[in-house]
Amino acid sequence: MGLIVQKYGGTSVGSVERIKSVARRVVAAKEAGNDLVVVVSAMAGETNRLVALAEQIAESPDERERDVLLASGEQVSSALLALAIKSLGFKARSFLAHQVRIETDRAYGKARIKSIDSRRVKQSLKEGEIVVVAGFQGVDQDDNITTLGRGGSDTSAVALAAALNARCEIYTDVEGVFTGDPNICPAARKLDRITYEEMIEMASMGAKVLQIRSVELGMKFKVPIHVRSSFSEAEGTWVIEEDKTMDEVLVSGVTYDKDEAKITLLAVPDRPGLAAQIFGPIAAANIVVDMIIQNASAAGTTDLTFTVPKADYKKAVAVVEGMADTIQAKGITVDPKIAKVSIIGVGMRTHAGIAARMFQALSAEGVNIEMISTSEIKVSVVIDEKNTERAVRALHKEFIERQAAL
């Protein structure tokens, strides 16, 4: 009972039949006594179709017009879902971003929600209507249409739940968040609960399930997010605030990311301001640096290693080579065949020795560690890409399966 914001992804509304099936699920929740706000993505494939149209017209399409174009996908699916709900004999009403109104900044293609005026939605709910909202879209202060980036409908849903003080259910094509990739770890199991912080740290795995921005919003406004499958009735994973029992679990998940490349500057003369000199121009080229490691040597030079998205590493090397005179490195080595493997868990905060156990487990498997980075609730290592599966399996066994067996 109460107010629920449900979000259905592109696969869940990918055909007329699936839209009808979503309508039945929505109506069932309504009949159970709940008020419903339903956020929808574009039908699966539609956004790609529209992107292709734009790219046939312009190599790098203007961002404002691209957003006008892409927002039409959610307009279609929200109207179709409202139609489907009405044809089941229930009251429904679709809302676009400018009708709600969902206001964002002006960063076309990756806009951030600044405010939601929930009065019209509340009025509609009061009239007994099931409210359907087009996800992924917003309007800036001048009514220009914006979009929130891939997975943006998740953020639409969580932001609406925050504005309406509602629960949030994210329906997707997986059953929830898993302790590891089931394709690699047969023993991987669905997590019943996970903290916002853990979910954010699980970026590489989590981003496939939830847009990270939606988790940040959920954390900020304390919105419980229930990630579950639209193809079953099973409970999924609750993304929630940490409570006392949760730090009993040392490690919630093991993740990996093969989408980074490693760049090393060899024997750079070590002096103050070096890092700023190097990473300033890289950031200016819109390249996001993930891990950075610097080891000063006794000889007054340092080896500097960092990782960037694999898609950007050639651009990054070009930037660094352009600064050769300034940096005076002895050489540059590049390795795109790496993987980042991480263990994540809020329990690490209060338990010492987790990192050591991780290194030991990898060592026992003969996996060499090339870089290490730690945060309060995460330890990540960079290893040779070919060892990814072995490393993930070993860590899943060490931290998840043993834990469960205790």
Question: Which residues here bind a second copy, judged by CB under 8 A?
Answer: 16, 19-20, 50, 53-54, 56-59, 61-62, 64-66, 68-69, 71-72, 75-76, 78-80, 82-84, 86-87, 92-94, 96, 98-99, 143-145
Write the CA distances from 282 to 265, 378, 396, integer angstroms.
Answer: 14, 26, 35
Least distance CB 68 / a second copy (angstroms) = 4
Least distance CB 4 / a second copy (angstroms) = 21
State which residue, 101 or 228, has the beta carbon closest to a second copy. Answer: 101
Phi and psi at residue 42, in whole multiples of 5°?
-70, 155
State which residue, 22 or 205, has the beta carbon closest to a second copy. Answer: 22
State which residue, 93 or 262, has the beta carbon closest to a second copy. Answer: 93
Least distance CB 102 / a second copy (angstroms) = 13
| Pair of tokens at residue 222 | 């304390």
State which residue, 62 or 192, has the beta carbon closest to a second copy. Answer: 62
Least distance CB 99 / a second copy (angstroms) = 5
| Pair of tokens at residue 375 | 């945060």
Q: To which H or E segment does residue 309 belong? A: strand 301-309
| Pair of tokens at residue 95 | 């809302």
| Pair of tokens at residue 303 | 């080896």
280 Cβ neighbours under 8 A, 6+ residues apart: none
Least distance CB 64 / a second copy (angstroms) = 7
Q: To which H or E segment does residue 379 belong? A: strand 378-384
State which residue, 93 or 228, has the beta carbon closest to a second copy. Answer: 93
Least distance CB 139 / a second copy (angstroms) = 9
Least distance CB 107 / a second copy (angstroms) = 18
State which residue, 148 or 254, has the beta carbon closest to a second copy. Answer: 148
CB 236 within 8 A of CB 199: no
Least distance CB 388 / a second copy (angstroms) = 40
Burial class (CB in 10 A: 0-12, 13-18, 19+), 72: middle
CB 147 within 8 A of CB 134: no
Question: Each residue of 270-299: b (16+ CB within 10 Å) or e?
Answer: beeebeeebbebbeeeebebbbebeeeeee
CB 376 within 8 A of CB 238: no
Q: Which residue has the tokens 């990473």?
A: 279
Measured between alpha carbons, how far is 121 from 153 in angstroms, rounded to an integer? 17
State which residue, 110 or 189, has the beta carbon closest to a second copy. Answer: 110
CB 253 within 8 A of CB 191: yes
State which residue, 86 or 110, has the beta carbon closest to a second copy. Answer: 86
